Amino acid sequence: MSSQAAVLLHGSSAAIMAYGFNSLSSLQMDTWVNKQRGGHFQFLTVHGLCAAWLTMMMSLIADLFPSSIAIKKFKRVLLMTAMPLAVIIALIYWTLILFYPSLILLTDPLSSTPEALVWTPLPIDLALHAVPGLALFIDFILLESKFSKNEARYGAPLVVFLSTVAYSSWAEYCATFNGSFPYPFLTENPFNIRLVIYAAVMTLALASFWIVNALHPQKA
């Protein structure tokens, strides 16, 4: 990929993700969500979006200053953090949206119909749940070198574990004030089952990182 194409990828994907984040204020549930502890940052999607956006912005800076080794190394750390997060968010979100939307979508507390699910407009949905993972995947496959065996064996599990502990602790903390979780599949399960869910998501995120790394065309 040429340097101009790299700038286009990083700049356009960052812009689309910024559009998705700024569009949160236009969503039907915005007022209700903002009254809760954590606001939109209760959602794993928003954390993943911010991590992917920061990775793309750091990639753009690396495009403009290609001789900076420090910037490139920092971008690699961000990529290791953001890529499994974006992949697992996309995998879980789109699977549940297609087959079990009531497990991932909130119901409108102001609606007279208790089962009324709140759907996100498709352009915003794609900006939040598709573009981050797709942009990171393309960036990694076409512009980055493969993570080494030691990075994949030791670095990735540590990063995924710390990310899982950080988000699950944050979600549990917010729920103690809000009385519910941002995702129904967490609200509907007791603490011991939520621990299993957190562990399963962590395992899937790590497995997705290893699979994506294995798909890299560069030989180990």
Per-residue pLDDT tens over the stretch 132-161:
999 999 999 999 999 999 999 999 999 999
pLDDT of residue 151: 95
Domain of 35 in residue numbering reads as: 3-215
The reply to whether 163 falls in a domain is yes
In a domain, 196, yes or no: yes
Q: How far apart are CA 135 and CA 184, in angstroms?
A: 28
In a domain, 184, yes or no: yes
Reported as a single tens digit per residue, the pLDDT across 20-71 is 999 999 998 899 999 999 999 999 999 999 999 999 999 999 999 988 899 9
pLDDT, residue 113, reads 65
For position 90, what pLDDT does the model report?
95
Residue 220 lies in a domain: no
pLDDT at 28: 86
3-state DSSP helix/strand/coil % of the chain, to nearest 5: 75, 0, 25
d(CA 176, CA 172): 6
Torsion of CA 39, 182, 130, 13, to 10 degrees: 10
Name, in order, each residue with C-beta under 8 angstroms of 192's C-beta and a sequence gap of 6 or more: none
User: pLDDT digits over 76-128, tens only?
Assistant: 999 999 999 999 999 999 999 999 999 999 887 766 565 689 899 999 999 99
Q: Are 193 and 185 in contact (CB under 8 A)?
A: no
* Per-residue pLDDT reduced to its tens digit, 169-215: 999 999 999 999 999 999 999 999 999 999 999 999 999 999 999 99
Whether 155 maps to a domain, the answer reads: yes
Q: What is the pLDDT of residue 116?
A: 82
For the chain, how far is it from start to end, CA to CA, in angstroms? 21
Residue 73 within any structural domain of the chain = yes
107: β partners: 117
Asked whether residue 152 is domain-assigned, the answer is yes
pTM over 0.75: yes
Please report the pLDDT score of residue 120 as a whole number. 94
Q: How many domains does the chain have?
A: 1
Largest CA distance in the chain: 59
Q: What is the pLDDT of residue 111?
A: 65
96 in a structural domain: yes
